[in-house]
Structure 1
Amino acid sequence: MQLQEKSFEWVPGLAEPYAITWCAVEYFEITGTILRMLLQRLSPDTPHLGRTLLHHAILCGNAAAVNVLLSSGANVEASVKTQKTEFRPIHMAARLGSSETLQCLIDSGCDINSMTDSGDTALMICAKYKQEECLRTLAMAGADFGLVNTAGQSATSFAGSNQWSLGFQQVIVEVIRAGKIPESSSASVFSPLIFVAQAGDIEALKALIKWGEVDIDYQDDSGFSAVMFAALNGNVEVFRLLVYAGADVKLRNKAGETAITLSGLNQNHDLFEKVMLEFALQMGNRDDGGFYALHCAARRGDIDAVKLLMSRGYDVNVPDGDGYTPLMLAAREGHRVHVRAPDLARGSM
């Protein structure tokens, strides 16, 4: 058979003639034999109206044809250029939600963080068009969540503006649970730790802490750390995990608030207080950033905790932020039987 690139056939529904190789992509048969035979004589990168065979295969949603073209030397970074836009195969696959095709492109070494003319990455495009499987594929492949486009938008902000925050969050949490930590070149744009703390997912948070390369005290542009978000959102278990992992509760955000003061704003502030008291009792922590362990134990009438803390040298005469001593708090709460005023005053039980 004589192969001539200038031999055209009409492709139904597209209102423009294509070369024979394009027909082989359009009507790709399962073995790919015909397309491979044609590609022995013809270049896969010969353009037609600004596109190549690779672009055509992606538009046809045919991952098998994409794989044949890439294995035959098609340029994985071939751009589509129009008067208004410029984009690459990876952007097309992300926009169309073709996760299998996307994986073929990634396996062939494409630039996973390449940008369109407007600075959008494939990751941003997935978030913009709610392409869940493609988002998962890109996250597992190490796409950068810390990039922004020319308008300052990121993948996370795209998800938020398109009312897809929950779906976006679910994918990222699942990726982290699977042992893959999302890449981010800018923590101020995307911090895995802050993201997971706000999501309130314990298993994902454990995976991050176990990873060991995360700054547990990272503060965002407003000065909020992960433990502050846990306190603000009323998530006691996330708060507990972060505190025991060594999160600094003394840190202040730009409004001067700490995790302790933020936890006091919640209806379940007693539970946060209990976490801090347990932590002080177990770890012997004395420098607890606004949390007064002995005062807390006295006010709660926890005589065993009072005894233990006093044995560790906690000063019974130190006033808390409101000017109360442990003795005053015990008396105010009516713990006359369980906490005796003379004992507190002497500093022993």
Structure 2
Amino acid sequence: MAATDHSRSEAAKQRRQDQLQRWLGSETDQTGSESREISSGSGTRRAKVRFAQGAVFMAACSAGDREEVAALLRQGADINHANVDGLTALHQACIDENAEMVQFLVENGSDVNRGDNEGWTPLHAAASCGFIQIAKYLIEHGAHVGAVNSEGELPLDVATEDAMERLLKAEIKKQGIDVDTARKEEERVMLRDAMAVLAGDGTLTPHPNTKATALHVAAAKGYIEVLKVLLQCRVDVDCSDTDGWTPLHAAAHWGQEEVCGLLVDNMCDMGAVNNVVRARRTSFPSAVQSVMEL
């Protein structure tokens, strides 16, 4: 059990570093000024650079400038604007342990349960960083302790400190949440939505940032029943996300051999390459190799 807790802690710390790394050098991080120098034949001159309102808003939040944030909101800024990784200003305030900005954003309508591209909610971020006062505040203002990220993890699962675990376990018990049911909620909802599409009563929308489809998710996570229904819906078996990954890439990467077989049976393109390997073709992982040898 100790080894499991240690590995979970290390994984959470790595995600924390990944979050910070994505922030550094991003459009939001670099939005500190509205002007820059441009060199020309006649010398150096100052030129105005206009940043998107969302980037300016997130930069103001990160700087803790509540007056500027309030002014931007009055001008129509979206308080739930997300960057390329799906991080909102509230996510960032949680990561930065800026309790005052967290409170300001929540009081002004920030979505406490919005997930980033990997399904991490602000509570996941606070839990993984060990910021207990922020976690308490989020919970008091409607944050779901039973929310799961793309890895099927609750905020409890990414908590790295005993005090945080005690807080989240107590809240889970108080709310009567079945953690096993919560971890399976995504698959249940996806199957329901897929059945609705099959019946002609629903639509499937790719992720707004990554363009990953329900087929990508089902393939990566081995949701076999969801996958079978989606295939009956005649979805594009070779659809690609923004990185050029097809569902077969996702299934192969995560070792979902049965999924690979189903995709191959449905005539997926086994020669597809993603954006990373477009210049140099590589062999598929063992999950696909074993299917190819059948």
- Report the TM-score range of the alignment, normalised by the length of the smaller protein: 0.3 to 0.5
- TM-score (normalised: structure 2): 0.41
Larger Rg: 1
